[in-house]
Chains A and B, each alone.
Chain A
Amino acid sequence: MDEHIAGRELDDQRHQEAAGQSDDLAALVAEAARGDGQAWSELIERYARRVYALAKSRLRDPDEAEEVSQAVFASVFQHVSTGRYTERGQFEPWLFRIAMNRIRDQIRRNTRRVRIESHTDRVISVPSEVADESHDLGKLRSAIDSLNDSDQEIIGLRHQAGMEFKAIAELLNEPVGTLLARHHRAMHKLRKLLGVDAQAGVSHE
């Protein structure tokens, strides 16, 4: 029950943060477009690590993730400083769209380099004792890895990038309802893979 309340509080906090950020984000981007270094520093402060986390969740390689993060910000800087980006309150979806494209390019490059065996939706053996709050995050990482691209995408954008569903909907051009369903499905798969259901002693319908 405490976990449930903590989760709600986390959601509320995330929502408030997002709302507050969107208010001043447009002004911040406008200042950055005028060449204000402080504004750029703040944008980097706010988004660089989120982009990195998203890249890391998909690429698994810290160096590649940092490389992608640098490429994303170089691209954003060029677009904003040359006036090719017009602020319409969609800076965040736009930035993460660039990030997703860069990540996809990198995945394609890596796939060309090494043909990795596809293991979409494969059930991995995870001992049930690891599936509690303090557990081994490596297992969770492995479980995410075993999801298909679509599920990894929604999990990455929602949790690693810390985006609101509305912003994800703008990014992927999909209705919020569809994304909620996708997220729910991905979570269900993760629970199954990690044995959270078994541990909780609840049978699925």
Chain B
Amino acid sequence: MSNTTNNHDERDTVMENMLDLLAREDRTEPDAGFEDRIWHAMHQATETRISGRRRKKSTAWIPFVTAACVGVMGYIVWMPMINVDLETNDQTVASVLDDDFSADILLSSFDAMDMLIADAEEVDESLSMLELQIDTNEFEVSVDSTWQDLGGSL
């Protein structure tokens, strides 16, 4: 058992030595300027980043100015149109006004109904009076018309 373990250890050591040799070869592969190139690339990347930042700063005003221009344009274009609509009673505005008007009528008729219901007895009386008057008038009119017809025929 211990012999097998020793063999395993030995073979692992052989393998590890081979791998270390390979790693050493890979590490020594780049030329002497390798570190300098790393250093240069490192600083170049940072410089690019800084210059990128500066460019961003210099163009930072563009969205604000654009937004302001859009606001001013909107004011100039839309404000006169709103005034014209009010003065010329545009359909949209008119429909709104109609709605308001009908709503007022509805409310006032509700008030009248309330008053009528409150004075129900008076309404009954006045209704019967009206019926009487109508009947009388119809009679009178019918009488008048009969005599007029007679006179006409004579």
- Chain A residues with CB under 8 Å of chain B are 1, 3-4, 6-8, 10, 40-41, 44-45, 48-50, 52-53, 56-57, 62, 66, 69-71, 73-74, 76-78, 81, 132-133, 135, 137, 140-141, 155, 158-160, 162, 184, 187, 190-191, 194, 196-197, 200, 202, 205
Contact = CB atoms under 8 A, between A and B. Distances in A.
Interface stretch (B16-24, B74-82, B83-91, B121-129): B16-24
B7 A73 contact: no
A8 to B, nearest CB: 8
16 contacts: A6-B13, A8-B13, A10-B17, A45-B35, A49-B27, A52-B29, A53-B23, A56-B26, A73-B38, A74-B45, A78-B46, A78-B49, A140-B22, A159-B19, A187-B16, A202-B7
Tell me the interface secondary structure of chain B in the complex: helix
Given A78-B46, A137-B18, A202 B39 contact: no
Contacts of B41: 70-71, 73-74
B15 interface: yes
Contact of A7 (B16, B42, B44): B16
Interface of B: 4, 6-7, 9-23, 25-30, 34-35, 37-39, 41-46, 49
Cβ-closest 9 pairs across A and B = A7-B13, A74-B45, A70-B41, A53-B26, A159-B19, A49-B27, A77-B42, A53-B27, A202-B7
Contact of A162 (B4, B23, B39): B23
